[in-house]
Amino acid sequence: MNMQIRPAADQAARLPGHQAQLTWKMGFEIELLAPPGQSREALARQVAADIGGSLERFFHPQSEPSLVPNKPTFENLTPGFRVHTADGAPYASFVDDVTIKQTLDPYKPPQPGWYRIVSDDSRLLQLVVEHCRADEPLDTVLLPFAALFGTKLEKHQAGLVKVADRRNVSLAIGAPMPGERERPCEIVTAPLIVGQRETLDHLLTAARTAGYTVPREGAVHIHFDAAALSHPLPFSRLVELLSRHGPALRRLVGTNHHCVRLGGWPPMLEELVRHPDFVGLTWAEARDALREVGLTKYCDFNLVNMVEQNPQKPTFEVRILPSTLDAHSILEAATLFEAILNWCMVTAATGPKQIPTSLPHLISRIFHTPQDVELWMNKHLASDARHAETKGTRTSADVG
């Protein structure tokens, strides 16, 4: 197997206080909440103005649980706003996140022009995205979609519009957005190789200036380019390392306990990658085997995009980071997981090495400077102290 470690970029982000550099291509997703009366569109417009760029409204796809029998999820398209630089390159998107709910008032009236399109089939919504314009008003936006099926757009009370087929089976419904759904804002950066600090500083400074806050359920996700990991040997080492140290890493980075859609991998995954035959498979064969274990994106470390070779997101996703308005905290976490990925790559290329048995042992192996080791050892000690204090408080409460 021919694997090479990605060379450091000449302008990689150097973090104050230690020597680590970010060398992998990565994208950041930061869940925030606009102040009452504001919207993610206003923040996107401000960011576009800051960089002399342009703004486009687009359909952002999401899934959420359904209460309808035999329909486990509803697929949604909601308003997203994409900022491009002056030369047309993608800069960042500002989209909804259905997990942010707790502080919103669903009884407030919908904002004019804000709507969602709902279906029970994501393939139908892909047709909406291809044939409809996201900047059209609700009462006309689905006209091209209806034309595809040779039917007419139906208009109902409360501003709802519906498209059904010739058998009167519902295909998609458009409805005004529930109250305050314009406030959740997940900032999604374009994939970055250089300029991570500058980009995050700009985006988060704009959000702070606009009065944004961290939602109770908020998280930060980092998507690492997974091309170099798409081989059975480094993949298996990554799975084994995170299976062993996942809970300790959650404590280390301070995972938000109110965050939803987290959790472990199916037990079959670890069994599969530990089988002696797994590392001898081609990546195509390994992917076929991995599809059988029941992976989902809604877990601590998302492998689905790698297994499915998602062309829009060919990534390994870290989902356990708490939301923050501080760029330095996000970049520090990025150095931790980049170091883990590099260790998996190096040990896969140089020969078998045991997975470190403890988090201090892991820290001492993945970092190469005393400053980095000291930084993360101190964070480990602090996280253990907080964990012990929290555990002691809960025990006392239980006894009382």
Tokens (6 digits) for 380: 């480990």
Residue 70's pLDDT band, with cuts at 50, 70 and 90, is: low
The pTM of this model reads: 0.90
pLDDT-based confidence at residue 3 (cuts at 50, 70, 90): very low
Least confident of 16-20, 276-280, 384-388: 16-20
pLDDT of residue 68: 65
- Report the pLDDT value the prediction gives residue 353, as an integer from 0 to 100: 77
pLDDT value of residue 310: 87
* Tokens matching residue 16: 């104050």
Q: CA 67 to CA 388: how far, in whole Å?
A: 39
Question: CA distances (Å), 239 to each of 11, 73, 232, 268, 283, in order?
Answer: 30, 28, 10, 12, 15
Q: Which two tokens stand for residue 216?
A: 């109770």
Residue 31 three-state SS? strand
Residue 67's pLDDT is 64
> Which amino acid, 145?
F
The CA distance from 216 to 257, in Å, is 9
Indicate the pLDDT class of residue 160, thresholds 50, 70 and 90: very high
Give the residue-averaged pLDDT of 133-157. 96
User: How far out from the chain centre does Cα 225 lie?
Assistant: 13
Residue 182 has pLDDT above 90, yes or no: yes
- Around Cβ 147, how many Cβ atoms within 10 Å? 13
Give the largest CA-CA distance in the chain.
Answer: 69
Which H/E stretch holds residue 84?
strand 73-84
More confident residue, 384 or 163: 163
Q: Is the pLDDT of residue 360 over 90?
A: yes
Q: Are 171 and 165 in contact (CB under 8 A)?
A: yes
Half-sphere exposure of 279 (CA within 13 A, CB side): 16
Q: Give the per-residue pLDDT at 40.
A: 98
**Is residue 57's pLDDT more than 70?**
yes
Please tell me the distance from the alpha carbon of residue 128 to that of residue 75, in angstroms, as a whole number: 12
* CA nearest to 90, candidates 203, 206, 202, 188: 188
Two structure tokens written together for 370: 């005393």
- Residue 399: pLDDT over 60: no
Q: pLDDT tens digits for 7-23?
A: 333 333 444 444 457 99
